[in-house]
A and B are shown apart, each in its own frame.
Chain A
Amino acid sequence: DSGVTQTPKHLITATGQRVTLRCSPRSGDLSVYWYQQSLDQGLQFLIQYYNGEERAKGNILERFSAQQFPDLHSELNLSSLELGDSALYFCASTLGDHPLNTEAFFGQGTRLTVV
């Protein structure tokens, strides 16, 4: 158990809909990272938050947004969903604001299926 909790584990929704994925980082960790993993794109970094503030942005679509709340949990919002958004979405956490010299702890992921 990594200590990172993601909910829900599975999500099936229709095209055009909006969903929210939730992540609770490991106790004490201030950074949360979101990744998308699909068969054809591999593991893609989406966005990072550190102590409530956006710290880094990767290949995140404009239809996607995220935030980190005062209790440090984070939510990833995906809107106007398309079939191509079907993927595994992972959250990871680290203590510091950069994964420079420390390991990242990953949640078990949310499998999103858009039909």
Chain B
Amino acid sequence: SQQGEEDPQALSIQEGENATMNCSYKTSINNLQWYRQNSGRGLVHLILIRSNEREKHSGRLRVTLDTSKKSSSLLITASRAADTASYFCATSNYGQNFVFGPGTRLSVLP
């Protein structure tokens, strides 16, 4: 299985602080994506990073990918209460479908 594993399982920070979540996976991938899920709602795509990319930015989000370590990190800068959600990494490769990790639950306290 190439399931991603997010770390930590839960994270609690103050508004304005940065939040960093990590994802590790087991086999080679073609791309890695991060999704956000607000409580009990559908997943929303945040960012996609391809295996030949090392870093990608989108607004307050910064994603890195280290294929040698089979890991990725998601950094949310200047967090807001609205960032409170669960964050999932999803990996995919030829012949494989999306495989999601168990997620990191982020709580941003006002």
Contacts and interface: CB of A to CB of B under 8 A. Distances in A.
Interface of A: 2, 4, 33, 35, 42-43, 45, 48, 56, 58, 88, 90, 92, 98-109, 111
A43 B88 contact: yes
A100 B98 CA distance: 9
A45 B40 contact: no
A101 B50 contact: yes
A90 B93 CA distance: 21
A110 to B, nearest CB: 11
Nearest to A40: B102
A106 B42 contact: yes
Contacts of B99: 45
Contact of A90 (B43, B45, B92, B102): B43
A45 B90 CA distance: 11
A111 B103 CA distance: 19
A99 B94 contact: no
B97 A109 contact: no
Interface string B27-69: 0001101010000111111001010000000000000000000
Contacts of B101: 42
Given A42-B103, A48-B97, A104 B45 contact: yes
B58 to A, nearest CB: 12
Contact of A105 (B40, B41, B45, B90): B45
20 contacts: A2-B42, A2-B44, A33-B97, A33-B98, A43-B88, A88-B40, A90-B43, A92-B98, A98-B94, A99-B33, A99-B92, A100-B30, A100-B31, A100-B92, A100-B94, A101-B30, A104-B45, A107-B42, A108-B41, A109-B42
Given A42-B103, A43-B88, A88-B40, 8 more contacts: A42-B100, A45-B99, A48-B97, A56-B97, A99-B98, A100-B92, A100-B94, A103-B45
B40 to A, nearest CB: 7
Contacts of B93: 100
B42 to A, nearest CB: 4
